């Protein structure tokens, strides 16, 4: 298995140390390389947040759902899109795997994404376009603790025929 896949673990506590610009660019490339359904490239839009004031307002609005991470990828999708949740999920995984490969932690956040959708003022200030909603947030940063995890080798039921 690729080491980024096996090493990726949900990280829920971050150091305040910022992510370097080089690493942010590598994460953006990973986002842009994500699978896209039916060439509907406008169904998914991303916002990269490093601005401290925005970061804190997002934490406040979402009850600290982003766990203090210094970098947030906010993935928004067209409300009526058939593909939005899927496009945003595969993009989130690309970002998380690239983060792992860079020695960074990350986590897929759905709960905070749903809550953020109730804060229309903040969404407008973040530049979320009318007709779009937040689907996933991916906080990224240096993990505060060494991440050890459960055995995932049998997480899901899988049959073979």
Ligand X SMILES: Cc1cc2nc3c(=O)[nH]c(=O)nc-3n(C[C@H](O)[C@H](O)[C@H](O)COP(=O)(O)O)c2cc1C
C-alpha span between 93 and 90 (Å, rounded): 5
Shortest Å, Cβ 108 to ligand X: 4
Q: Look at phi and psi of residue 111 and say left if phi exceeds 0, alpha if psi is from -120 to 50, else beta.
A: alpha
Tokens of 154: 């049998």
DSSP 8-state secondary structure symbol assigned to residue 17: P
**Cβ(137)–Cβ(113) below 8 Å:** yes
Q: Which is nearer to ligand X, 22 or 105 (CB)?
A: 105
The site map against ligand X for 8-27 (x = CB under 6 A) is: -xx-x---------------
DSSP 8-state secondary structure symbol assigned to residue 9: -
Q: Which is nearer to ligand X, 131 or 149 (CB)?
A: 149
Query: Residues in contact with ligand X, total (CB under 6 A)?
Result: 11
Q: Which is nearer to ligand X, 20 or 143 (CB)?
A: 143
Q: Which residue is nearest to ligand X (CB)?
A: 111
Give the residue carrying structure tokens 């490093």.
50
Shortest Å, Cβ 161 to ligand X: 26
C-alpha span between 69 and 62 (Å, rounded): 13
The site map against ligand X for 92-131 (x = CB under 6 A) is: ---------------xxxxxx-------------------
Positions touching ligand X (CB under 6 A) are: 9-10, 12, 107-112, 149, 152
């Amino acid at each position: 298995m690729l080491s980024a896949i096996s090493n990726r673990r949900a990280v829920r506590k971050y150091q305040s140390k910022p992510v370097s610009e080089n690493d942010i660019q590598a994460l953006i490339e990973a986002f842009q390389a994500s699978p896209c359904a039916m060439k509907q490239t406008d169904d998914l839009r991303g916002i990269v947040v490093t601005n401290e004031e925005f970061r804190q307002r997002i934490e406040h609005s979402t009850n600290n759902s982003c766990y203090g991470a210094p970098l947030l990828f906010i993935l928004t999708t067209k409300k009526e899109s058939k593909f939005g949740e899927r496009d945003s999920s595969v993009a989130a995984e690309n970002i998380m795997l690239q983060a792992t490969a860079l020695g960074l932690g990350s986590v897929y956040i759905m709960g905070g994404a749903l809550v953020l959708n109730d804060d229309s003022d903040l969404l407008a200030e973040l530049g979320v376009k009318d007709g779009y909603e937040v689907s996933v947030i991916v906080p990224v940063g240096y993990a505060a603790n060494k991440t050890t995890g459960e055995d995932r080798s049998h997480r899901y039921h899988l049959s073979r025929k």
